[in-house]
Every structure is written in C-alpha cells, then in structure tokens.
Structure 1
C-alpha cells in the first residue's frame, strides 16, 4: 500500500532503524476519512474483539432468562443497546481508520480490557452493579471518542464537519452516562434508554447528511461481513440458552425434544438472514446505509432475547401451556426479527433490480410477524410453541425461495 502518513516511504529491501520501526509500528496515525481499504478482509484481531462481546451479550441474556418480565425485558433491551453502540463504534473505527499495526492492536486490546470488566457487571445492571457499569461504559466511550478525535485532527478541513458532529454526540453521551451513575436503578435505566434512543436518532441524522452526496465509498465486503458475524454472535446465545436449559433440568424425552425444537428456531433465524440479508451490501447514499446499520440493533437484540426465552421453554417443557413471559418473549423475538428483515430489504444495493421479488418477501415476513404474535398469545405447550414458530419460519423461507426461483435467481446470489 502507498505510504499515506506523511512519513518517508521505505524502498523494498531497505533496512529500517529500530527507532524508526518502533515509531512507525506504534505511533503511526490512523487512516483519514476517505482512505478506505476496499480490499481488506476481516482480521483475527476483529474476531478476537467480537469474542468479548459474546461474553457481554451472554451476561445480559442470562439476566433476562432469570427475569422474563416486562422490567427484565426492558433492562435487557437497554443494556443490549449500550453494548451494540459500543460494538458499532469500535467496528466502524477499525473498518474505516484502523491499520494492521501496534497502535491499532494496543487500542483494541485496551477496549477489550474495559469490555471484560463491563461483562462482570452487566448481569446485574438494574442494581448496584449498574453504577460501576455506567463508569466503565463512560470510560469506554471516552476511549472511542479519543480515537475518533485522532482522525478528526488529521482530516482536511472540508471533511471535518461530520466528524465534529459525531464527536459532539459522543461527548454528550459520555456526560449523560456519567450523570446516570449516582441515580437510583430505575432512573439510571431511564437515562440509559434515553442515551440509546437519542444516540441512534441523532447519529442517524448526522450520518444520513454525510451520505447524502457520498464523496467516497465506505461499504466494503469486510464491513458487511462484520455485521453478519454479529448475528452469529447472538445466535450463539440461542445455543447457550438451549444448553443451559437442558443442563439444569431433568432431561426427559419431552425436555430434550423441546430444547431441540427451540434450537431449530435459531436455525430458522440463521437461514432467513443468511439468504436474504447476509453479504449483500447496502446502498451508500441518503438514508439507506444508516437504516441498514440501525436495523441491525433490534434484529440482533431479538435473536439474543430468543436465547433467553429458550431457558424458560425448557424449564416448563412439561406444562400444558407455556408461561406468559417465555411465550411472549419467544414469539416477540420471531416477530421483531421478521419485521427487521422487512425493513432492511429496501436498503440493499440490489433492491431496485429485484423490487418485485423483494416485495413478495416483505409481505410474507410481515405475515410471519403477525402470526408469530398470535402463537405467543395462544400460549400452547412449550414444545408446540417451538415447533409452530420453527414451521412458521420454514414456511416463510420456502415461500421466499419459490418466489426467487420464479424470478430466475438464487436467494444467496449477489
């Protein structure tokens, strides 16, 4: 790659002094806006980074599994929103500005230290642990803001406006999170909810304005892959939910059957996303890129929540009716996931060429969402609930597949 940091380039085979090599490895500044590496692939470091989020999401989902109530669900949604915003900031910075050098690695590992500490407090975020979690989260945001500021300093004046707006939103978020630390648990969760909603709304406006007339491409194959990997992370919670449920219950034939049927619902999640959304880049102009990014928040949250619902289904496998909490959580997760697929399809790059086929899929998955909620309201036995939702997702995918065949295309074709 060409040397873009303003330093002296090194000819092939030329020896580098130790001091120059160390400075270049650890002090080389990040890439400016516009210096997008379209050929990069997802690195081992990014995969390692995402593993820490596996633990964070797992702790939040574990807390929801223990308290499947309106309050427990609301707490999970807020904490997951905090986690997702942190993941998004770290991921986009690495994608747009990171390098394969010691500076980037050091900053990523520092984030991972903070994230690991946060995981220790995430399971009881609605109690006293929430105070410490707020402080740690503010520190993480401060570190991320400093990274973005390091790019802002190097950007040419014409590209600083959007970066400056982004930094102001981040700084306001830090102040809000810090202010929440001494509050009561309910008030603190309320402030966090305000932060998540406010951040998504304001940043959507900032980023939509930035992409109204795109000066350069920012969507790469590696960026699209990272969002797909996030779904894999939360799908892991479905597997964990099934395993936890089976490990802590007498494993009768009915219990095992219920667990396996629940896991098959997770397979339905994967199949729907993999064939309809995964590895398909969004359009970069106007609000399409922003919508594509933001939709992944409720989409991945719903899948992670389904993992928590699995525990309740297995624990009550012998009941004639599924308890209201797990029933609504499971069916609601399927409904939200289906509606988010409906919402994300118009943002895809190939939507214009396949508008008719996509419209059919949108109708199918809208019906899937409504039917899922009816199943949750009916509260059949846990095994029947899981089977019904799994068959519902299978029917939706099958109808989409038939529509694609009639269109002369395969589902996973780009």
Structure 2
C-alpha cells in the first residue's frame, strides 16, 4: 500500500484507471496469493478428472472437469483483467479480492461432488456467485471514478449480475437430468463469455496493461504445469516403495513433457502485441484450453501411476492417451492464440504437426515415451525454425539498409 496517502484513502480510494503504458508493471503479492488459491481449485478439478478416468468413467468425468475448470478460470480471468486496469491497492480492494478467493475455496470444496453418480452443483455455484458478486462491487467502484469508461463498467456490473441470477436459478431447479444440466451450463457459459465482448465494445478498451496481462497468464500457466510435476513426483515416490522401471519412465516423461510445454509457451515471440479487442478476446478466451489441457496432462500422469501400480484396471494405452490428448490440445490451442499470428513459413505448422504426432504416438507402440519425445522435438523444431526465421529477417534488413 502506498505510503503517505491520507488514512481514509488507504481504506477507500477512488478506483481510477491505471496507466496502460506504466513502466515496470508486475504482478502484486495479492495477485500471487490469488493465483495460489486458484491452483487449489484447479488441483481439485484435476483430481476429479484423474479418478474418473482411472475408474473407467472418462466420458462422465471430462464434461464435469470442463464445467468446474470453466468456473475457476473464468472468475480468475475476469479479476485478472480488471485488476490490470484498476488495482489501486486500497483496503477495500484487498478485502473484495479476498472475498473472491474465499469463493474459489468454496468451489474447490464442492468439486469432488461433481464427479459422483449424482452430481450436486450447490457448493460450486455458491462459491462462483460469491466471487462474481464481489466483481460486481469492483466494477461499480470503477464506474464511479472512471468517467470515460463508465458505460463499460456499468455494463460489466449489470451483465455479471444478470448472469448470476441465471446461475442461482440453475441452483434452485436441481436436481436435473444430465442432459438438462449440461444444456443449462452451456447457456450460462455463453452468457458469461458475452459480457466482456459486449461491455468492452461500448467504449474504448478498459486500460488493462498488456505486459502485465501477459505476465499474469504466464504465471498461472507455470502453476498449472506444476500439477504434472506433482504427478511425476508421485511416480518417483511409488518407485522408492516398490521399484518398477515403468514408473521411472513415467517420471522422466513427465519432466520431458512439462519442460517442453513450458518451452513452447515461453518463447521470445510476443503473445499479445496489440490491444485490439478481437485479438485480446481470442487470446484471453483461448487460454481456457491451454490451462485446462495443462492441468489435464497432470491428471493423465496420475492415471498412469494408478495403472502401473495396479490401482486402476483400464488398459495402459488409455493412460497414454490421457496424456497424449491434452498435450495435443495444448499445442493446438497455443497455435490458435499465438503461432498463427507470430509465425511464418514452416514454423507456423510446427504446433499442429506435433499435436497430430502426439495423438499417433501411442498407436505406434512408442507409448508414453513417444508422446514425451514428440513434445521435446516440437520444442526443438519450433525454436530452431523461429531462430532461422529471425536470422533471415535480420540479414534481409541489413542488406536492405546497405542498399
């Protein structure tokens, strides 16, 4: 909190817009704590997916994982973009952020019930609505202090409120058939997604900080990939107790895949080079699949540990695909949000090509090791092709300058 401010302004200060070109803008300790709380909920969703696949109920577990992950990610994303534009670090902002964190913990507590034969959405919806109501208060605060973007801030507040009424209705009409619950969830998710698209189009973009947003997304991606490292650690722990060379291969493959996913994401290419609304929406929304697939990779490795230690009776190839599919989704999603804009020539085809290879690898008999090798080769190929392209571009510019 900034020293020297009047006492009242330390408690409740005007929520004026931040400078979108502010130098040295980085994540705050409060935002890092928010990420830590978020990853607890993500871990709960990944655990549900892990157990669902291991018990042979992948088709039931996958939709529930998607629904739970959407609630966690959407609340995180909305707060992140808001804080990038308006974080004034007064006491009220901190307290409202902590209310949002509390809602995330309620969601985490309610997620295991979603993966039962009779899913109960009560705790998840209560936690989610709690998070979103706090966001309504934050947007109303912004509307009071940011006159140029008042129409947008009010639209956010009204839109979020209307959708929360929908979720409460969803809660009150339980129990629902599976098909009805899925249908109502899809409608609710579409309404949520529509709010920023509509609100941001009413005036100029809210003053979010481009580099700050990129950093915030990168930090969450690192935390999500940590779920896979945890699964690798589980394999090594089992190896200490009951040595099995397959567990060693699993742990090494987890390391190779995590390092590769990290490498292709954290390249030197600019993730979001413009503040244009359409591009920002594609990049921001598209990360749902990057984050969800990153968490699912960790769940897939946990499934493999269960199979190898005979705690699951599903075939080994199913465990291999529990890793291969999310790896392929991760590469494809990253191509959609970044590489199709940032790459040229052969480099543009790297992520889709290796996504396809990751899906083929288990069928060739290479198994998990083949998926890991594919991921590593993807990182190497992309880095080499991008370096070659940069070198060619640099030489061309030098030649043009001399001419």
TM-score by length of 2: 0.83
Q: 2:216 aligns with which of 226, 251, 256?
A: 226
Q: Are 1:295 and 2:286 counterparts?
A: yes
Worse-superposed segment, 280-289 or 76-85: 280-289
Q: 2:359 aligns with which of 338, 357, 373?
A: 373
What displacement does 1:204 show?
A: 3.3
Matches within 5 A, 1:6-405: 21=7, 23-32=8-17, 36=20, 38-39=22-23, 40-68=25-53, 69-127=58-116, 128-156=119-147, 159-181=149-171, 182-184=174-176, 186=178, 187-207=180-200, 209-210=201-202, 214=204, 218-248=208-238, 250-275=242-267, 280-317=271-308, 323-345=316-338, 351=342, 357-378=343-364, 380-405=366-391
Number of aligned positions between the proteins: 380
In structure 1, what is the Cα distance between the partners aligned to 2:78 and 2:59? 29
What displacement does 1:380 show?
A: 4.3
In structure 2, what is the Cα distance between the partners aligned to 1:99 and 1:179? 34
Asked whether the equivalents of residues 217 and 284 of structure 1 are also in contact (C-alpha less than 8 Å), the reply is no
In structure 2, what is the Cα distance between the partners aligned to 1:79 and 1:63? 10
Query: 1:249-284 CA distances to partner (integer Å, 9 max, x unpaired)?
Result: 63423311222112211110000000155x644311
Worse-superposed segment, 60-69 or 328-337: 328-337
Q: Cα 1:60–1:318, aligned 2, differ >3 Å: closer, same or farther?
A: closer
Q: Cα 1:170–1:297, aligned 2, differ >3 Å: closer, same or farther?
A: same
Worse-superposed segment, 139-148 or 186-195: 186-195
TM-score by length of 1: 0.81
Query: 1:348-402 CA distances to partner (integer Å, 9 max, x unpaired)?
Result: 6xx4xxxxx4353221212112222222555643344434444444444444444
Q: Cα 1:301–1:388, aligned 2, differ >3 Å: closer, same or farther?
A: same
Task: Give structure 2 stretches of 5+ with no counterpart.
Answer: 396-403
3-state DSSP class of the match of 2:14? coil
Q: Cα 1:216–1:169, aligned 2, differ >3 Å: closer, same or farther?
A: closer
3-state DSSP class of the match of 2:113? coil
Task: Give structure 1 stretches of 5+ with no counterpart.
Answer: 4-9, 352-356, 410-414
Which one has the bigger helix percentage?
2
Give the alignment's Cα RMSD to 1 decimal: 3.1
Q: Cα 1:168–1:216, aligned 2, differ >3 Å: closer, same or farther?
A: closer
What displacement does 1:71 show?
A: 1.9
Asked whether the equivalents of residues 358 and 370 of structure 2 are also in contact (C-alpha less than 8 Å), the reply is no
Asked whether the equivalents of residues 106 and 126 of structure 2 are also in contact (C-alpha less than 8 Å), the reply is no
Asked whether the equivalents of residues 86 and 141 of structure 1 are also in contact (C-alpha less than 8 Å), the reply is yes
